[in-house]
Structure 1
């Protein structure tokens, strides 16, 4: 307990872990709904990011990518402030939980598996209904020129190794944003830091498995079927290798390392 008192960041992480464990054990479906809502918020952020990107590209070709990157950060802002459950940040939380024995290992994996599954469920539901809106309907959405379709096609063309490595960097960035947000004293700082840190992986197009749940589903529904290169195996392969990379980046390189580092010194703690 003394070490926890000296590490405010770790204390905050431990509180979040226990809060998640308490909810899933007392009301599983309430936790599942928070995971569904994470993908709903992500889909809303994804939709405006794509729409801004396509509109800016009509002005200057290539300009849209900057708009996409800046708008995409609002996905995480909504998720954090609406207390939704995101699988990739939970990779960091749950590895930390297991390493520090904050909650039972079985509970930690239950939280992570439930969160990822219902993130997927939420993504399919949210993107289907988003595809029924005017901006993404036939006659308004232009698949031949939309960034959404070209981005998904590019993602599916990447090798498994590329997807894995990009997944590492993507979830390092996401969890750096989570860590930085915890250290901020005011809401303006949290929002600004989140937007500009998330810009890194969004602009570079790195692989984030939960974001890909929504991106691939929205592309499928708005295109009226699979885009070029989209098969069951190519999509599952992306989810697998991006997800493994996300686990290494967020779970091991951030979650495990910082858990370990904060047990190495009584003074040099986060």
Structure 2
């Protein structure tokens, strides 16, 4: 009886069948997305557009500050660009915008844990990315008519950054896409673990700063960047052609899914699937 009793006690203390706190929050998030998508498609589409509204504003202020500072202190633009761009994710997460690269993590976990069907997950992800693009194009067009981007010099931090993206080889875009969405979803997952808003903001800013400063390729962030460049460059960027833009978007999208969907999404879903006490 003593041995049986000890065995039962060991099993109770070392085997955990319920979800980890982090996975509980992710499941709630997935169910909210699924419910909104199925019951109010228009609202889901608008939330996806809003994500790129916030991203477009973050991109605009980041490039504006960088261009201004480059004219004052040479080579200072990159430091300030990365800091200001980081506020984009803060706006998106606090105001519940639907961001395609974050949903790569959510929808992969949703399929792995059988919360939604594969078809539903793909549909949600596709619609989210599509309306991210729609929101980016509309916002970029309107922003191109604002004072900051009305008359840009042929050589500035914004044009130089876009040109650098267009000249990257496909393999580099792909690898940078992987790391970009690893970083984004590290911020997403860590945000779930932090209760206070101030802590969440600080974590998001300093983590997103990593990929923004290193210039990694984030497909959704490139939507407003390329759209704005098309509207304001007026032919000054020779490499800003559809084939180059689509090449960047394709390889960045593929890399982003591997980084955010498979490495972070499937990886952490699998790590938290075992019936052990080592859960997040």
| TM-based fold match above 0.5 | yes
Contact 1:220 1:226 in 2 (8 A): no
Q: Is residue 106 of structure 2 the alignment partner of residue 93 of structure 1?
A: yes
Cα deviation per residue 1:62-88 (whole Å; 9 max; x = unaligned)?
111100001111000000011110000
Q: How many Å separate the matches in 2 of 1:185 and 1:38?
A: 22
Contact 1:4 1:10 in 2 (8 A): no
What is the 5 A alignment of 1:37-56?
Answer: 37-56=50-69
Cα deviation per residue 1:105-162 (whole Å; 9 max; x = unaligned)?
1111110000000000110000000011111112xx32412x2111111111111110
What is the 5 A alignment of 1:1-270?
Answer: 3-5=17-19, 7-138=20-151, 141-145=152-156, 147-225=157-235, 227-270=237-280
Segment of structure 1 superposing worse, 12-21 or 229-238 = 229-238
Structure 1: stretches of 5+ with no match in the other structure = none
Q: How many Å separate the matches in 1 of 2:91 and 2:180?
A: 18
Number of residues of Structure 1 aligned to a counterpart in Structure 2? 265
* 2:116 counterpart SS class: coil
Q: Which residue of 1 aligns with 2:4?
A: none
**1:207: Cα distance to partner?**
0.3
* 1:59 counterpart SS class: coil
Q: How many Å separate the matches in 1 of 2:23 and 2:186?
A: 14
Q: How many Å separate the matches in 1 of 2:191 and 2:239?
A: 37
**1:29: Cα distance to partner?**
1.1
Q: How many Å separate the matches in 1 of 2:166 and 2:223?
A: 13
Q: How many Å separate the matches in 1 of 2:244 and 2:115?
A: 37
Cα deviation per residue 1:226-266 (whole Å; 9 max; x = unaligned)?
72211111111111000000000000000000000001242
| Bigger radius of gyration | 2
Q: How many Å separate the matches in 2 of 1:23 and 1:4?
A: 26
After TM superposition, the score normalised by the length of structure 1 is 0.96
**1:225: Cα distance to partner?**
4.3
CA RMSD of aligned residues (A): 1.1
* 1:230 counterpart SS class: coil
Q: How many Å separate the matches in 2 of 1:36 and 1:101?
A: 27
| Cα distance change, pair 256–59 in 1 and its aligned pair in 2 (3 A) | same
